[in-house]
Structure 1
């Protein structure tokens, strides 16, 4: 866990730096090329789309929250949210912060009585927690740019997938649910 400086001018803060783009979870679906689950993030104020491939168990945790399905016992992300609440900590935001060797990285921003902390996380865990905490989700501008470059440098299937994702409408997401 990292504890950035308080909200003094010029220090880290959950308000962001302008180098981040707010996104929303557009859907959770099976990649038609790899048949792996992926979370589709969409830029709130633009057209950028970012697919993040996740494991089946992580996809299930997110799907349960998307569908607002109640489970008889708390799932891991519910437990984490409940623990944070018990310690009066608030998840203020999550950020998909880096992309290295085709692996995404995320940071969870926590606030406890003005004490701001960050925690390294897998994007799937950060997104599952963000949904449960009802907090904003951001992606680093550098990650969006790198993901676009990586997609352009790949084979035709990746280019087709990008065009397919960008062309999805609201009705399409419902058809491709897990």
Structure 2
């Protein structure tokens, strides 16, 4: 955990800067090519999309929250939210702030009585917690731009995948099935 004043160079402030893009979870679906679950993030101010491939367990945690399905016992992200509440800490935002070697990184911003802290996180965990905490989700503009470039360099189908994701309507975002 890091205090905001000590946060690494190049990351964002709790108030945000023009270097971030606010996104929402557009959906969770299976990648038609790899058959792996992916979260589709949609830029709120434009038509950009960012797919992030996640593991099956993380996808299930997000799917449960998307569908507002109750579980008999708290799932890991529910437990984390409950622990934070017990310590009077609030998740104020999550930021997907880095992309290295095709791996995304995220930071969870917490506030406890005015004391702002950050926690390093996998994006899937940060997103699952953000949904439970009902807080905004951001992506660094650099990450958004680099992800587009990385997708273009992968193979011929990556441009098609990007166009397909950008053109998805509400009815196209099928429910995630295990």
Q: Is 1:35 equivalent to 2:10 in the alignment?
A: no
Shift in alpha-carbon separation, 1:151–1:13, aligned structure 2, 3 A: closer
**Preserved contact between residue 96 and residue 106 of structure 1 (Cα < 8 Å):** yes
Q: Secondary structure at the match of 1:131?
A: helix
Distance apart, 1:18 and its partner CA: 1.4
Counterpart position of 1:52? 52
Distance apart, 1:176 and its partner CA: 5.0
Q: For structure 2, list consecutive stretches of 5 or more residues without a partner in the other structure.
A: 7-11
Counterpart position of 1:64? 64
Tell me the distance in 1 between the aligned counterparts of 2:167 and 2:176: 16
Counterpart position of 1:177? 176
User: Please, what TM-score do these two structures have when normalized by structure 2?
Assistant: 0.94
Q: Is 1:131 equivalent to 2:131 in the alignment?
A: yes
Counterpart position of 1:111? 111
**Preserved contact between residue 33 and residue 157 of structure 1 (Cα < 8 Å):** no
Counterpart position of 1:9? none
Cα RMSD (Å):
1.2
Distance apart, 1:13 and its partner CA: 3.5
Counterpart position of 2:89? 89
Distance apart, 1:63 and its partner CA: 0.2
**Preserved contact between residue 94 and residue 126 of structure 1 (Cα < 8 Å):** yes
Counterpart position of 2:153? 153
**Preserved contact between residue 97 and residue 107 of structure 1 (Cα < 8 Å):** yes
Q: For structure 1, list consecutive stretches of 5 or more residues without a partner in the other structure.
A: 7-11
User: Please, what TM-score do these two structures have when normalized by structure 1?
Assistant: 0.94
